[in-house]
Amino acid sequence: MAETLTSKGDVVIFGGTFNPVHTAHTHVVKEMSRILKPGKLIVVPAAVPPHKRGRGIAEAHHRVAMLELAMRGLPATISHVELDRTGPSYTVDTLRLLKAQEREERPFYLTMGVDAFFDFHTWRDEKEILLMSGLIVVNRPGTDHGHLPVDVMLGYLKEKIDDGYFWSSRENRFVHPRFMGVIPLTVPPVSPLSSTDVRKCLEKGDRPTDLLHPEVLRYIEEKGLYR
Contacting positions for ligand ATP (CB under 6 A):
16-19, 24-25, 28, 112-113, 115-116, 138, 140, 190-196
**68 CB burial (10 A radius; 0-12, 13-18, 19+):** middle
Phi, psi angle pair for 107, to nearest 5°: -65, 135
Please, which residue, 138 or 180, has the CB nearer to ligand ATP? Answer: 138
Please, which residue, 98 or 138, has the CB nearer to ligand ATP? Answer: 138
* Closest separation in Å from C-beta 15 to ligand ATP: 7
Please, which residue, 179 or 226, has the CB nearer to ligand ATP? Answer: 226
CA distance 67 to 210: 17
* Closest separation in Å from C-beta 206 to ligand ATP: 16
Q: Which of 178, 180, 174, 219 is CA-nearest to residue 198?
A: 219
* Closest separation in Å from C-beta 100 to ligand ATP: 23
Q: Which H helix or E strand runs over 40?
A: strand 40-45
* Closest separation in Å from C-beta 160 to ligand ATP: 17
* Closest separation in Å from C-beta 103 to ligand ATP: 28
Please, which residue, 33 or 103, has the CB nearer to ligand ATP? Answer: 33
* Kind of pairing between the strands at 173-175 and 166-168: antiparallel
Q: Which H helix or E strand runs over 48?
A: none
Please, which residue, 9 or 40, has the CB nearer to ligand ATP? Answer: 40
CA distance 64 to 219: 11
Q: What angle do CA 10, 69, 209 make, to 5 degrees?
A: 115
Please, which residue, 118 or 179, has the CB nearer to ligand ATP? Answer: 118
**105 CB burial (10 A radius; 0-12, 13-18, 19+):** exposed
* Closest separation in Å from C-beta 135 to ligand ATP: 10
